[in-house]
Amino acid sequence: MKAETAAKRDRFLDLARAGPAVMGIVNITPDSFSDGGHFIDADAAIAHARAHVEAGAAIVDVGAESTRPGYTPVPEAEEIARLAPALAALVQSIDVAVSIDTTKAAVARLALEAGAAVVNDQWGLQGDPAMADVVAAGEAGLVMMHNRASIDPGLDIVDDMRRFFDVSLDLAARAGILRARLILDPGIGFGKTKAQNFAALKGVRVLRDYGLPILVGVSRKSLFAALLGPHSANDWLIPTIAANVAAAERGTTIFRVHDCAENLSALTVFNAIERA
């Protein structure tokens, strides 16, 4: 990893440990649930990344495959084709770290070569068997998200998260990924019932035992519709902030969001009160 990229990585990890840090979402996809198709064009994606940084983002998370409920998986070649026109220029255009939101080792490798500093893996190294070695070789930071292939309503989801993360942490250690570069994500909206999603948010406090930064991604998610009734995804700013503040109270320090300024303002006030 180049020295400039490593410096961005380490600056983000320092902010992640202290909190609050917001991760601005850039979806280079035609079908994401709230902004699909808005940032497929390279110039639009770059402008959106810059806007996130101006709004206070500590990192920008770039993805080229939607994982909304009912999504259609994207072949590796198509994911790379979506990223290639924008990624290197996007990395160069901002002075914060870029993370790549992918489950595929080949896509992660391409992104790291283009200057990304963090891999955001929705399967916590348990999907693509090559992912751990790619992250280790690239000296990248790593977000390990909890996920399940199927929903089991009878499951104690917090216990399942602990079992999952124990496996992921072992895979990271075996690959030589430094523990100081690891972040845990409970995976809200992935492989969980509505009740389990809220239990996972409440259970963030338990994950603090690992001594690692915790990231939560609830921005504009359909779990709010299940609770409050149907709305446009763009109407979920207040519920998103409420969930993020509750997660912060339980020890979360990184928040993956579409609306950086608004969430950061609320979280900064929360932290000021907590530290008074």
Retrieve residue 211's tokens.
């001594």
Let me know if 2 is a catalytic residue. no
Catalytic residue among 82, 109, 220, 256: 256
| CA distances, 241 to each of 62, 236, 261 (Å) | 21, 9, 11
φ, ψ at 161 (rounded to 5°): -60, -40
Name the active-site residue from 162, 202, 221, 250: 221
CA–CA dist 126, 167 (Å, integer): 8
Interatomic CA distance for residues 16 and 87, integer angstroms: 23
Q: What is the DSSP string of 180-226?
A: GGEEEE--TTSS--HHHHHHHHHTHHHHGGG-S-BEE--TT-THHHH
Order of strands across the sheet that contains 141-145: 182-185, 141-145, 118-121, 97-101, 59-63, 21-27, 254-257, 215-216
Q: How many other CB atoms are there within 10 angstroms of residue 135's CB atom?
A: 28
256 included as an active-site residue: yes
Tokens of 57: 């983002």
Closest alpha carbon to 34 in 69, 79, 77? 69
Cβ neighbours of residue 65 closer than 8 Å, sequence gap 6 or more: 29, 71, 73, 74, 79, 101, 102, 103
- Among all residues, which ones are annotated catalytic? 221, 256
